[in-house]
Structure 1
Amino acid sequence: MASTHGAAAQVLVASNRGPVSYTVGEDGSLHARRGGGGLVSGLSAIGPDAGALWVCSALSDGDREAVRRGVGEDGVRMLPVPADVHADAYNGIANSVLWFVHHLLYQTPLEPVFDAEFRRQWASYETYNRAFAEALAQEAAQGAAVLVQDYHLCLVPGMLRELRPDLRIGHFSHTPWAPVDYFGLLPGDIRVQLLRGMLGADRLGFLTRRWADAFAACCEEFTGGTGGTEIGVHGLGADADFLRARSRERDVEERLAALREEIGTAPEGGARKVIVRVDRTELSKNIVRGLLAYRQLLDDRPEWHERVVHVAFAYPSRQDLAVYRDYTAEVQRLAGEINERYGSAGWTPVVLHVKDDFARSLAAYRLADVALVNPIRDGMNLVAKEVPVVSDRGCALVLSREAGAYGELREDAITVNPYDVLETARALHEALTMAPEERAQRTKRLAAAATALPPARWFLDQLEALRGTRAS
C-alpha cells in the first residue's frame, strides 16, 4: 500500500477512515467495500492523473489483514496502527474527549476527569497522529499539498511541519469548535498542544464562520493568536445530482412503498402527514428531545391524532461506548412509550428504525412533509440540506439554531432552541399547517442554498486556497 503508482504524491488527504474497507470471508479471502462522501467526490474531481494519495487508518481486523498481505488499491495507503493504540486514540480521546468538548456534551458535575488514564490515552493519540505525520512526510512530493481531516488528527499539521517544512499543509474541521470557556476545560498543556498542532498548518478550514471565530478566540486566549496560519470557511453542501438520481432508483421506490404501508392513511382516507428525522444515535443529535416535542404535540393538539406519523431513523453510532448504548436504549424506550400511550390498531405514531439503510433514508426524504433537525450542536448537518433537494412535494424544515446549516438555511426554516421542547412542539405544528404554496417556495430556496457548494467544489476550493497560501 505505497504511493500512487510508486511515485511521490502531489495531493495527499489524511483521515481516520479511508475510502475503502476490508472484510475477511470464511474461506480467508479479502473483500473490499468502497465508501462515499465529500472527500471521495472531491478527490475524484481532481482526476486520475493528479498524483493523489489517501492516507488512512486500518480500522478493522480485515483492514489490518489487508495491510499484512500487501493488498490495497492505487491511491490509498492504510496505516497498520495497533488496535489498542487506535482504540485509545479514537474512542478514548477523539470521541470521548474532543467530540464532547466541541459539542458541549459533558455533564460537568461528574465529567470530565483528566486523570492518569486520560494521560495514558493521550499518549496513544500522540502516537496515532505521529504515524500519520511520518507516512505523509514519506509519501509527499516536494511542495505537495496535504489536506488533513478532522479532530482525530489535530496534531498532524505541527508534526508534519517539523518533518517537511516544504509542504503546503491544510487541516479541515468537520465539527464545531468549542467556545473559549468550554475549550478551557482541557488541561492547560493539552489545549496548547492541540492549538499549536493545528497552527502548524498553512491554512485551516471550518464549516461556518462561527466555528472559525471560536477557534481564533481560543488561540487568542491560550497561544497569543493564530500566527501566520490562514483561516477559511467552506460550508459543505449537498450533492444534488447524486441525490436526485439515487432517490429514483428501484430500491428506493421499494422502500417508499413499504414506508407508505407502515404510515397508513388517516381515518377519512387521506394521506397522513409525515415528520421525518434521519440521524445517527449520537448524543449531539438530540433525538430524545425531538421525541419529547412530538409527544408534546400530540398532548397539545389532539386534532393530529391518527393524522400524523413521526418517521424516526436513529442509526446506531459508537455502540462500543456505554453512554451511546444507553442513549440508543432511551430513544427506543421513549418511542415505545409514545406508541403505547397514543397508538391505535390502525395508527403507529412513531415509526422507528435503527438499522442503517441509505435507500430507506432517501425514501423518507421524499415522503417528508416536515423534516426535524434539532441538534444540540452540529458542525453542519447535511440531512437539513439533503431533504429539501430530494423532497417530492416540498418539505417544511424545523431547524435548530445550533446546527451549522442554520447560517445558510435560517431564512426559510422554522428555527428552534434545541433545548426548548415546548417551542419545538409549536414549530412542528406550524410546519404541519404550512400552506402548500409557501412550503413549495421555501423548499425551492432551501434546496438552492443547500447545494451552493457541492462536495467536489468544496474540496477543490480548499485545495486551490491551500496552494495559494505561500510559495513552497
Structure 2
Amino acid sequence: MASTHGAQVLLASNRGPVSYELREDGSLHAKRGGGGLVSGLSAIGPDAGAVWVCAALSDADREAVRRGEGQQGVRMLDIPADVHADAYNGIANSVLWFVHHMLYQTPLEPVFDLEFRRQWASYEAYNRAFAEALAQEAAEGAAVMVQDYHLALAPGMLRELRPDLRIGHFSHTPWAPPEYFRMLPDDIAARLLRGMLGADRLGFLTRRWADAFTACCERFAGGLGETRIGVHGLGADADFLRRRAHEDDVDERIAGLREEIGAGRRAIVRVDRTELSKNIVRGLLAYRHLLEAHPEWRERVVHVAFAYPSRQDLAVYRDYTAEVQRVAEDINLRYGTPDWTPVVLHVKDDFARSLAAYRLADVALVNPIRDGMNLVAKEVPVVSDSGCALVLSREAGAYEELGEDAVGVNPYDVVGTAEALHAALTMPSEERAERTKRLAAAATALPPAQWFMDQLNALTH
C-alpha cells in the first residue's frame, strides 16, 4: 500500500489528543487533552510532520469526522460504534485487561464462547482500521509508535501492508506470565503474540513485564524473532505538577480538605480510579484494621480516599464502586464520632483536589493488586509540601524504581498493610522528608517528553 500523505512520525492510540462536544446550535467545540503522550509528541517539534491516529469515541467525535472538521496532525477514525464497543469493552477491557492484571475469578470466568469469538472479530476489525490508516498516512520508512493493549494486533497488520516502516509498540499495562496468558484460547494467544511481534521494537514499563512477554513468546511463539525489547519507566512531569499544584484552585481545595480532616490530624491519602486492579476495598479494610489494632489513632487520623468512577458502562465496575462506598460508610458508622469522620470519600473527579491531597498527605497509600506503573506513586512525592511516607504495593510497576524508599506491602495482606500504615504514620519527620526527596528524584528520572523521545530514537537508530 503506497503512502498518500507522508508523515515521518506517527502515533496510534485509542484515545486521541482532542475530543469534540456538539453544542445546541449544532456547532462542534474541540477540547485538547493532556497526558504523557501529548507532551511527549510535542517534544519532537512542529516540523517533524507528525500524525496522531485515534478513534472517534463519541457521537460528537464521529460528527466531526463526517464534517471533515479534524485538527491538523490528527486523523480520527470513524469506526462503527458497535464495532468499537465490542473491541474496546468486549475484548480490550473485559478480556485483555483482565488477563494482564490477573483479575479473573476463575471458577466462573472467563468463558470463551461464541459471543467472545464475535467480539474478537470486532477487535480484529478495529485493529485493521488503524493499520490501514497508518499505512495511508506514513511516509516511506516512517516511524510508527503504537500504544497499548487495545492495538496489540496493529503492528503485525501494518507490517504486512508496509514492510518499509519502523514500527514500535508500547504496553502501558503489565504483561501476564505464561501460566496465566495460556488461559486464552490457543489461537487467540498466538494471534496476539504474532501481532505484537510485527513490531521492530516493543516497549514495557518495567523489566518484569518485558520478561513476562519474552517468556510467553518463548513458550507459545518460538521466541522473539527479530523484535527488540526495551524498558522505559514513564516518570512524572515534575515541572507541570509543581506549577499546577500551586495554582489558586489547588490552594482553595487544600483549605477545604483541611476543614474536612480537622485540625491536628494526620492524613492517609489515596487517589485512584475505581478500577478493579487498584485494590481500593482492601485498602479501606486495612485502614479499618489499623483503627482496630491501634486505637490510639482513632480521632487522630483521617483516610482521604478519592475513588473516581471508571468504566461504569461495565456492571462489574459499577458493583465495585458501590462496594467501595459501602465499606467506607461502614467504617464511618462503626468508628466515627460527632467531631471525626474516619473516611472522607470523594467520587467526583477533581484534579485540583487530587493535587491538594498530594500536597498535604502524611501517608500515601498505593496498593494495587497489579499495575503497569502507577503514576500516583510517582506524583505524590513530587508535590508533597512537607514529606510524605509512601505505602506501596510490590505488585505496582513503580515498586521497581521506588521500593527502596517506600514501605512495601503485599496487596492481599490487609493486616500487613495496616501495620505498614502504622509504620508510615510513626516514621520520624526527618526520615520521611529524606525518603520523599529520594522518591521524587527516582519518580522524575524519565519525564514524559524524554520517555517518548527515548523510544523514538531507539526505533529509528
- Note whether the superposition's TM-score is higher than 0.5: yes
* Structure 2 residue matching 1:237: 3-state secondary structure: coil
Q: How does 1:265-344 map to 2 (within 5 A)?
A: 265=263, 271-344=264-337
In structure 1, the residue matched to 2:140 is 142
In structure 2, the residue matched to 1:157 is 155
Contact 2:250 2:352 in 1 (8 A): yes
Kindly state the Cα deviation for residue 148 of structure 1 after the two structures are TM-superposed. 0.1
Choose 195-204 or 25-34, whichever is displaced more. Answer: 25-34
In structure 2, the residue matched to 1:119 is 117
Kindly state the Cα deviation for residue 346 of structure 1 after the two structures are TM-superposed. 1.0
Kindly state the Cα deviation for residue 345 of structure 1 after the two structures are TM-superposed. 1.1
Cα deviation code 1:110-134 (max 9, x no counterpart): 0000000000000000000000000
**Could you say what the CA RMSD is over the residues aligned between the two structures, in angstroms?**
0.8
In structure 1, the residue matched to 2:68 is 70
* Structure 1 residue matching 2:47: 3-state secondary structure: coil
* Structure 2 residue matching 1:49: 3-state secondary structure: helix
Letter in 2 for 1:457: Q
Choose 379-388 or 24-33, whichever is displaced more. Answer: 24-33
Gaps of 5+ in 1: 266-270
* Structure 2 residue matching 1:459: 3-state secondary structure: helix
Kindly state the Cα deviation for residue 27 of structure 1 after the two structures are TM-superposed. 1.6
In structure 2, the residue matched to 1:379 is 372
Kindly state the Cα deviation for residue 29 of structure 1 after the two structures are TM-superposed. 1.4
In structure 2, the residue matched to 1:350 is 343
Letter in 2 for 1:188: D
Separation of aligned partners in 1, 2:176 and 2:46: 38
In structure 2, the residue matched to 1:109 is 107
TM-score (norm 1): 0.97
Letter in 2 for 1:290: G
Letter in 2 for 1:362: L
Kindly state the Cα deviation for residue 363 of structure 1 after the two structures are TM-superposed. 0.2
Number of residue pairs matched? 459
Letter in 1 for 2:167: I
Letter in 1 for 2:302: V
Separation of aligned partners in 2, 1:323 and 1:29: 36
Separation of aligned partners in 2, 1:352 and 1:248: 23
Q: How does 1:152-191 map to 2 (within 5 A)?
A: 152-191=150-189
Kindly state the Cα deviation for residue 33 of structure 1 after the two structures are TM-superposed. 1.1
Kindly state the Cα deviation for residue 8 of structure 1 after the two structures are TM-superposed. 1.3
Separation of aligned partners in 2, 1:7 and 1:201: 22
Kindly state the Cα deviation for residue 318 of structure 1 after the two structures are TM-superposed. 0.3
Separation of aligned partners in 2, 1:64 and 1:230: 36
In structure 2, the residue matched to 1:467 is 460
* Structure 1 residue matching 2:155: 3-state secondary structure: helix
Separation of aligned partners in 1, 2:420 and 2:374: 19
Cα deviation code 1:181-240 (max 9, x no counterpart): 100000000000000000000000000000000000000000110000000000000000
Contact 2:5 2:136 in 1 (8 A): no
* Structure 1 residue matching 2:193: 3-state secondary structure: helix
In structure 1, the residue matched to 2:209 is 211
Gaps of 5+ in 2: none
Q: How does 1:229-248 map to 2 (within 5 A)?
A: 229-248=227-246
* Structure 2 residue matching 1:251: 3-state secondary structure: helix
In structure 2, the residue matched to 1:268 is none
Give the percent of matched residue pairs that are identical in Structure 1 and Structure 2: 83
Separation of aligned partners in 2, 1:32 and 1:307: 46
In structure 1, the residue matched to 2:247 is 249
Separation of aligned partners in 2, 1:430 and 1:12: 47
Separation of aligned partners in 2, 1:31 and 1:234: 35
In structure 1, the residue matched to 2:261 is 263
* Structure 1 residue matching 2:46: 3-state secondary structure: coil
Separation of aligned partners in 2, 1:20 and 1:312: 30
Cα deviation code 1:61-111 (max 9, x no counterpart): 110011111111111000000000000000000000000000000000000
In structure 2, the residue matched to 1:435 is 428
Kindly state the Cα deviation for residue 7 of structure 1 after the two structures are TM-superposed. 4.4
Separation of aligned partners in 2, 1:347 and 1:25: 44
Q: 2:404 aligns with which of 411, 430, 441?
A: 411
Choose 339-348 or 112-121, whichever is displaced more. Answer: 339-348
In structure 2, the residue matched to 1:85 is 83
Q: In the alignment, does 2:346 pair up with 1:361? A: no
Separation of aligned partners in 1, 2:338 and 2:262: 11
Cα deviation code 1:395-414 (max 9, x no counterpart): 00000000000000011000
